[in-house]
Structure 1
Amino acid sequence: MAKKTAAEPSPVADFEQSLDQLEQLVEKMEHGEMSLEESLGAYERGVALYRRCQQALEQAELRVRLLTDPDAPDKAMPFPALPDAAQGER
């Protein structure tokens, strides 16, 4: 069996890395020291990172649904929303 030369990051690691990059990008943009062109590029990068994170979360939710009820993942109930106090915590 052939070995991969470059290991692909796991979906969780990819999500965490993308989220970290997005947070750094937002912080940089909030300082307001970027030119218009840099700001537009940063915004485009941010949208791509956001979509990547959203896709990873959707895939994780699907995995949980399949593990919960592999015969009927569509009937699985969505996760309950977190209380307001817990949403800001990590």
Structure 2
Amino acid sequence: MSPTAAPATNQIAEFEQSLDELEQLVARMEQGDMGLDDSLKSFERGVALYRSCQGALDQAELRVRQLLDPSSPDSAEPFAPDTP
């Protein structure tokens, strides 16, 4: 395994774990059974998880841009997913 593969694998695992925790947190909050204090703590945790996930997605986009055009990643055209 190359030295860069382990950090990338860890980032992916952390992203997936954060996203899973965020989804579970949202589901609990949507039930409406939490008190105000618990809701605020959950919201705060959710914001932190969202920011963590967004940072990981930004890093992934940068890696894709670098792969598409290593000499000038800022000019690389982002790919558009095929969405119906």
Q: What TM-score, normalized to structure 2?
A: 0.84
Give the CA RMSD over aligned residues.
1.8
Q: What TM-score, normalized to structure 1?
A: 0.79
Shift of 1:20: 0.1
Deviations 1:64-86 (A, max 9, x none): 11112110001111221542x5x
User: Which residues of structure 2 form unaligned runs of 5+?
Assistant: 1-5
Higher RCO (C-alpha 8 Å, min separation 6): 1
Identical columns (%)? 60
* Secondary structure of 2:78's aligned partner: coil
The CA distance in 2 between the partners of 1:79 and 1:34, in whole Å, is 41
Task: Return structure 1 stretches of 4+ with deviation > 2 angstroms.
Answer: none
Per residue, is there more helix in 1 or in 2?
Answer: 2
The CA distance in 2 between the partners of 1:51 and 1:82, in whole Å, is 26
The CA distance in 2 between the partners of 1:34 and 1:44, in whole Å, is 14
User: Which residues of structure 1 form unaligned runs of 5+?
Assistant: 1-6, 86-90
